[in-house]
Structure 1
Amino acid sequence: MSKSGCPYDHAPMEIFYKSFKTELIYLNKFENEEQLDVALNRYVYVWYNHIRPHTFNGGLTPFKAVNIS
C-alpha cells in the first residue's frame, strides 16, 4: 500500500467510474431512481463482471479470471 494521498490509490476505481459513465450513464436517460438502480445492477453484476473483457487480466472478464485460478 502506498502512503496517504498517493494518486495511484484510487486508480482502479477511477478506471471503473470512467467506464461506468461512458458505457451506461452518458448513453441513457433514466426517468426515476428505480430505472437507474436496475440499470446499475445489470451493468455491474452482469455486463462488467461477466461479459465485458478487461485488458488488465488478459482480455478475460473478472468472473473468468477469478475462476481460472
Structure 2
Amino acid sequence: LASVLDLHTKKIIGYAFSKTMDTELAIKAVENAYITQKPKNTVILHSDLGSQYTSSKFDDYLNEHNIVHSFSGKGCPYDNACIESFHATLKKEEVTLATYYDFDAARLAIFEYIEFWYNRKRLHSSIGYMTPQQLEDALRKTA
C-alpha cells in the first residue's frame, strides 16, 4: 500500500495497492490523489527517502504536475510522521484483526477501511473531532 494523506484534513486522498513497493506504485498513489483532488496550485508532497520516492521517474512525475517534493534528512522522520501514523492505525484497527485469504481480499478490506471507515466515520481529535470527509466538505462550502 502506498498512500497520500492531506495534512490539513487528515483524509487519505490517494492510494494504490501492489505486491511490491516500487516507483510505479508510488506514482500511482500520487496520481490517484491528483486526479481526485484536482489541485489548482502547487502542492507539497512529503515522503521518506525510500528509493521509490527518490527515483528520477518519480521526480519527473512530480515536476510534470507542479508538485514540490519535500523530505527530511536521513534519520529525521518529521515530514513523514503523519502518514506513518496512518499506517500504524491501519495495522492496529484493520490488518492485525483480520485474516486475508488472498491479495484481492486484503485489497478490498483495506479499500473499505480507508473509504468507509477512516475517511468518513473515524473521528480525529486533531481536526476538532470531525471526520476527514466532514472537514473537507466544510472547507469546500467556505471556499
Q: What's the TM-score once normalised by structure 2's chain length? A: 0.45
Q: Report runs of 4+ in structure 1 exceeding 6 Å deviation.
A: none
Count of residues in Structure 1 that have an aligned counterpart in Structure 2: 69
103, 121, 135: which is aligned to 1:33?
Answer: 103
* Deviates most, 3-12 or 39-48: 3-12
More strand by share: 2
Task: Report 1:12-27 matches (<5 A).
Answer: 12-27=82-97
Counterpart of 1:40, as a letter, is I
Cα offset, 1:63, TM superposition = 0.3
RMSD after superposition: 1.5
CA displacement, residues 7-60 of structure 1 (integer Å, 9 cap, x when unaligned)? 211111111011000000000010111110110100011100001111110110
Who is 1:45 aligned against?
115
User: Structure 1 unaligned runs (5+)?
Assistant: none
Distance 2:111 2:125 in 1: 22
Distance 1:2 1:22 in 2: 26
Distance 1:2 1:27 in 2: 32
Quick one: percent identity of the two aligned structures?
29
Q: What's the TM-score once normalised by structure 1's chain length? A: 0.89
Cα offset, 1:2, TM superposition = 6.8
**Aligned 8 A contact 2:119 2:132 in 1:** yes
Who is 2:130 aligned against?
60
Distance 1:54 1:39 in 2: 21
**Aligned 8 A contact 2:71 2:80 in 1:** no
User: Structure 2 unaligned runs (5+)?
Assistant: 1-69
User: Which of 1 and 2 has greater Rg?
Assistant: 2
